[in-house]
Amino acid sequence: MTEFYDALEVRDPEQRERDLMAALPGVVARAADTAPALARQLAGVDTWAVNSRQALARLPVLRKSELLEAQQQARAANAPASLTRRERVFGGFSAVGWGQALRVFASSGPIYEPETNRPDYWRFARALYAAGFRSGELAYNCFSYHFSPAGSMMETAAHALGCTVFPGGTGQTEQQVRAMVDLAPGGYTGTPSFLKILLEKADELSVALPSLKRALVSGEAFPPSVRDWLIGRGIQGYQAYGSADLGLIAFETAAREGLVLGEDIVVEIVRPGTGEPVPDGEVGEVVVTTFNPDYPLVRFGTGDLSAVLPGASPCGRTNTRIRGWLGRADQTTKVRGLFVHPAQVAEVVARHPELRRARLVVSGSGGQDAMCLRVEADTWPDGLKDRVAQTARDVTKLRADVEHVPGGSLPNDGKVIEDARSYD
């Protein structure tokens, strides 16, 4: 029994990078050719010249809010009559329509996503494999099978491994436990909290589930306390990180040191509010380019925060690792009746070459809001404080104090805007 899903997982890192960059121009060009919204995103771009991370970083980031807005506008009553049904449903981001799509799902918004009959469409098979799932086993799937693609994500991945799947879905805990007793599944897929609920229900019913040895969990936090509680029950639980738009992004391995990136995506970590990649180790927003030809997304901003971990995983997989989910990048905050966005903080920094990083701290109580822009700068010439304060006022339409802090002193947590107000 091999330890790895395929040879891609143990490629030389430099070879992997060459392979990804060699494939990237075709991915971007095909996206622009087959998805009208991507053509608009990439207007004026020589798509075949996007053959490096530097070239990719010059493309605009597509925010989830923009994808939702495009879909809503395409479905609006005043949308152009010339739009195809595919464009009306998916906002121009899908390369396939009815008949080509096997299923269509809805995530919050709603944002509609297609699924075709491409094997392991959401690419979760390698995450299942890393969690110990193997051919010939029964996977008990407790992700939702309606609206959201989560249930299908795990089912199609399990099928790709040669597993049989029981579509348990959510709810009906006593019936679920009875089915587990009858079917004796080897593994569970679903949220960690629901697995804990099922095991506690089994205790309540005085029944044992000795067959259950492994779990791949996602959809919510998987704290060490829950992981260790499962281990105490003889279940090795591992987490996967993905989204309804992109499928698998990264997954945990037996090393339990961060999450290893999937093999057929390009992941960047960028400074929130911008498309600028940050140095390895610095917390920023996860931005993904997927190689899915049916639902192509180029520089899709997930809105999630993470950071690259140094070195290779002790498990032997050689791809880049990230720390996992560290919060949300969208830190838009309302101050004295006006919204302040991370992009505005980035604009203030961009207008002053002396500035390296900035963090806007909003404080106060009882409706008395105050803003302080803390900035790291290589030099601090006379008058810079006043100039930065004026720029902040021009950009945000709000007054902000400016504080010069030593280089490297701002926390590495991805926050561009910190809401430190008291609401007591």
**pLDDT digits 0-9 by tens, 26-75:** 999 999 999 999 999 999 999 999 999 999 999 999 988 899 999 999 99
Backbone angles phi, psi at 47, to 5 degrees: -60, -35
pLDDT digits (tens, 9 = 90+) for 166-225: 999 988 999 999 999 999 999 999 999 999 999 999 999 999 999 999 999 998 889 899
**Could you list the residue range(s) of the whole structural domain that residue 380 is in?**
333-419
- Asked whether residue 419 carries a pLDDT value surpassing 90, the answer given is no
- Would residue 253 count as lying in a domain? no
**Where on the phi/psi map is residue 184: left (φ > 0), alpha (ψ -120 to 50), or beta?**
left
Closest CA to 196 of 169, 168, 225: 225
Q: What are the residues facing 237 on neighbouring strands?
A: 215
Beta strands in 259-299 (DSSP E): 259-261, 265-270, 284-290
What are 312-371's pLDDT values in tens digits?
A: 999 999 999 999 988 888 787 888 777 788 888 989 999 999 999 999 999 987 567 899
Query: What CATH number does residue 375 fall under?
Result: 3.30.300.30
* Phi, psi (deg, nearest 5) at residue 124: -90, 0
Residue 36 lies in a domain: no
The torsion angles phi and psi of 392, rounded to 5 degrees, stand at: -60, -40
pLDDT at 389 > cutoff 70: yes
Q: Which residue in this structure is represented by tokens 């610095």?
A: 282
Cα–Cα distance measured from residue 320 to residue 310, given in angstroms and rounded to the nearest whole number: 8
Report if residue 116 sits inside a domain.
no
Nearest to 410 by CA among 342, 356, 339, 348: 356
Single-letter amino acid code for the residue at 376:
E
In a domain, 351, yes or no: yes
- Structural domains counted in the chain: 1
From the number of C-beta atoms within 10 Å of its C-beta (0-12, 13-18, 19+), residue 342 rates as: buried
43 within domain boundaries: no
Please check whether residue 65 lies inside any domain of the structure.
Answer: no
360: in domain: yes
CA distance 303 to 5: 29
267 neighbors 304 (Cβ within 8 angstroms): no
**246 within some domain:** no
